[in-house]
Amino acid sequence: MTFKKAVLATPSVQQAYRPGLQALSPGDAKRIQAENPRRLTGSLNLDAALQAAQPDAPRWDYGIGYRRSDREEAFWVEVHPASSDNVSEVLEKLAWLRKWLKNEASSLQELTRGGFYWVATGGSVAITRHSRQARQLAKAGLRGPWRVLSLPARDSRARARSRLPGRA
Amino acid sequence: MNLLHRLKLIRVGQITCADVQFGDLTVLVGPQATGKSIFLQFLKLAQDTGYVHEQLRRHGIEWERRVPEFLDVYLGEGMRGVWREGTDGSAVSVNGHAADVAEWVAPRHRFRKATVFYIPAQRVLSLANGWPRPFQGFASEDPFAVRDFSETFRLLMEQEFSPTAALFPKTNRLKKEYRELLAHHVFGGFGLHVDRHGAQKRLVLRREKDPQSIPFMVWSAGQREFVPLLMGLYWLMPAAKVKRRENLQWVIIEELEMGLHPNAISVVLLLVLELLWRGYRVCLSTHSPHVLDVVWAIRVIQQQRADPTRLLDVFKVRKTGPMKDVAQATIGKKVQVYYFDRTGEARDISNLDPGSENHLEAGWGGLSEFSGRVNEIVADIVNGSPGLATEPKVEPATGRSAGQGDASKEPELPGLMP
Is residue B380 in some structural domain? no
Is residue B230 in some structural domain? yes
Contact B375 A138 (CB under 8 A): yes
Q: Are strands A62-68 and A71-83 parallel, antiparallel or unpaired?
A: antiparallel
Is residue B403 in some structural domain? no
Long-range contacts of B263-268 (CB under 8 A, 24+ apart): B263/B185, B264/B182, B264/B185, B264/B186, B264/B222, B264/B226, B265/B290, B265/B291, B266/B181, B266/B185, B266/B290, B266/B314, B266/B315, B267/B178, B267/B181, B267/B182, B267/B185, B267/B186, B267/B315, B268/B226, B268/B229
- A150 touches B: beta carbon within 8 Å: yes
Range of the domain at B95: 6-367
Is residue B216 in some structural domain? yes
Domain count along chain B: 1
Is residue B373 in some structural domain? no
**CB < 8 Å to B385, chain A:** 113, 115
Evaluate if residue A15 carries a pLDDT over 70: yes
Contact B399 A33 (CB under 8 A): yes
**Smallest Cα distance from A48 to chain B, Å:** 18
Tell me: ipTM over 0.85.
Answer: no
Q: What is the mean pLDDT of chain B?
A: 87
Evaluate if residue B387 carries a pLDDT over 60: no
Contact A147 B371 (CB under 8 A): no
- B198 touches A: beta carbon within 8 Å: no
Contact B417 A29 (CB under 8 A): yes
**Smallest Cα distance from B69 to chain A, Å:** 33
| Alpha carbons B38 and B49: distance in angstroms, whole number | 15
CATH code: domain of residue B189 = 3.40.50
Whether A14 contacts A49, CB under 8 Å: no
Mean pLDDT, residues B18-24 = 98
The pTM assigned to this predicted structure is 0.81
What does the pLDDT read at residue B388?
A: 42
| Alpha carbons B59 and B332: distance in angstroms, whole number | 41
Evaluate if residue A149 carries a pLDDT over 70: yes
- A35 touches B: beta carbon within 8 Å: yes
CB count, 10 Å around CB of B154? 18
What does chain A come to in residues? 168
**Smallest Cα distance from A29 to chain B, Å:** 8
Size of interface A-B (CB pairs under 8 A): 179
Contact A138 B399 (CB under 8 A): no
pLDDT digits (tens, 9 = 90+) for B265-290: 999 999 999 999 999 999 999 999 99
Q: Which of A18, A127, A128 sits opposite B415 (nearest CB)?
A: A18
pLDDT digits (tens, 9 = 90+) for B329-363: 999 999 999 999 999 999 999 998 877 778 788 88
Lowest mean pLDDT segment, chosen from A100-109, B372-381, B395-404: B395-404
pLDDT band at B414 (very low <50, low <70, confident <90, very high): very low
